[in-house]
């Protein structure tokens, strides 16, 4: 049996991760620490013998700059890459820009947890006139009205991420390409939900650390057979706890 591998990487720490703000499709950049996390991830991948034939990212610069740092560190700046909106973070609607701890204080931790971690709940929607609506952004001009979100549930995110997976990744995997996919916490949760049929209870406790390579292995039928984070167990556990504590820390 051939094992097909995909390396999935959440972008490094962003300016709004640091400020604990809902980010979604808002195009904030990496912090200096975020760039370092990307370089560290690349070093780890190189030391563990990973090689790549193709890489993809969202169209958001925190993910694109993470990929650039990784490719630069691996001396793979020539690698074919694709930036696709379907790998964007889940759209957080009218929450984008708000501090997570302040939002929990204002609306209550339960509803904020539901907005962040349930499968079907939509965060409050944007109005179409709102400058944060992606219909005002040139990079999304090819999207139809039904594809342009005013807000997204995780379920809606799953639909587009999985469409990307089937249209752009599966054929490459079957032709033995080694793939690096750089994306965002909820887009990665969406992929994991699809791969592993995760229950809603487990899903709400699934936190994805920044800058830690997540290795997914598939069999010949592209059935997922194993996944694991690359790196030091204690360090990874500490990073996951930090993401988990986010809604409660003002920072
Ligand atoms: O703000 C966001 O876009 C995401 C990821 O940082 O946040 P959360 O983990 O709360 O879904």
Instruction: Please state the ipTM of this predicted complex.
Output: 0.95
Q: Which segments are annotated as binding site?
A: 10-17, 23-24, 62, 89-92, 100, 116-117
pLDDT (tens digit per residue) in 64-110:
999 999 999 999 999 999 999 999 999 999 999 999 999 999 999 99
CATH T-level topology, domain 4-248: Rossmann fold (3.40.50)
Q: Using a 6 Å cutoff on CB, does residue 186 contact ligand 1? A: yes
For residues 61 and 77, give the distance between their C-alpha atoms in angstroms, rounded to a whole number: 16
The token duo for 248 is: 């409660």
Residue 50 CA to ligand 1 center (angstroms) comes to 28
Residue 16 CA to ligand 1 center (angstroms) comes to 9
Closest by CA to 54, choosing from 175, 140, 142, is 175
Residues ≥6 apart with Cβ < 8 Å to 92: 22, 23, 24, 25, 115, 123, 151, 152
Residue 185 CA to ligand 1 center (angstroms) comes to 6
- The pLDDT mean for the chain works out to 95
Q: What predicted TM-score, i.e. pTM, was given to this entire model?
A: 0.96
Q: Where are the domains of the chain?
A: 4-248
Q: What is the mean pLDDT of residues 203-224?
A: 94
Q: How confident is the model at residue 250 (pLDDT cuts 50, 70, 90)?
A: low
Q: Is 105 a catalytic residue?
A: no
Q: Are the beta carbons of 57 and 88 closer than 8 angstroms?
A: no
Q: What is the mean pLDDT of residues 144-153?
A: 97
* pLDDT at 243 (0 to 100): 85
Evaluate if residue 251 carries a pLDDT over 60: no
What is the share, in percent, of the chain residues with pLDDT greater than 70?
98
Q: Is 11 a catalytic residue?
A: yes
Q: Which range has the worst mean pLDDT, 12-21, 60-69, 171-180, 189-198?
A: 189-198
* pLDDT at 201 (0 to 100): 78
Residue 165's region, left for phi above 0, alpha for psi from -120 to 50, else beta, is: alpha
Q: At 68, phi and psi to the nearest 5?
A: -60, -45
* pLDDT at 246 (0 to 100): 72
């Amino acid at each position: 049996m051939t094992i097909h591998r995909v390396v999935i990487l959440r972008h490094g720490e962003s300016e709004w991760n640091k400020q604990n703000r809902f980010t979604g499709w808002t195009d904030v950049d990496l912090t200096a620490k975020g760039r370092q996390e990307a370089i560290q991830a690349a070093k780890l991948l190189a030391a563990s013998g990973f090689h790549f034939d193709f890489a993809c990212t969202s169209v958001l610069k925190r993910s694109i700059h993470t990929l650039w740092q990784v490719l630069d560190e691996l001396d793979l700046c020539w690698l074919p890459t694709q930036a696709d909106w379907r790998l964007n973070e889940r759209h957080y609607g009218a929450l984008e820009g708000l501090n997570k701890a302040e939002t929990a204080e204002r609306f209550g931790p339960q509803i904020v947890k539901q907005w962040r971690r349930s499968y079907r709940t939509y965060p409050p929607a944007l109005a179409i006139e709102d400058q944060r609506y992606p219909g005002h952004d040139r990079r999304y001009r090819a999207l139809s009205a039904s594809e342009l979100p005013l807000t997204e549930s995780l379920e809606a995110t799953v639909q587009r991420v999985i469409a990307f997976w089937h249209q752009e990744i599966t054929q490459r995997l079957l032709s033995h390409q080694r793939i690096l996919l750089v994306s965002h916490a909820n887009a990665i949760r969406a992929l994991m939900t699809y791969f592993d049929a995760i229950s809603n209870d487990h899903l709400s406790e699934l936190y994805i650390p920044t800058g830690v390579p997540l290795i997914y292995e598939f069999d010949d039928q592209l059935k997922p057979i194993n996944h694991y984070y690359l790196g030091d167990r204690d360090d990874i556990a500490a990073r996951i706890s930090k993401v988990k504590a986010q809604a409660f820390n003002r920072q």
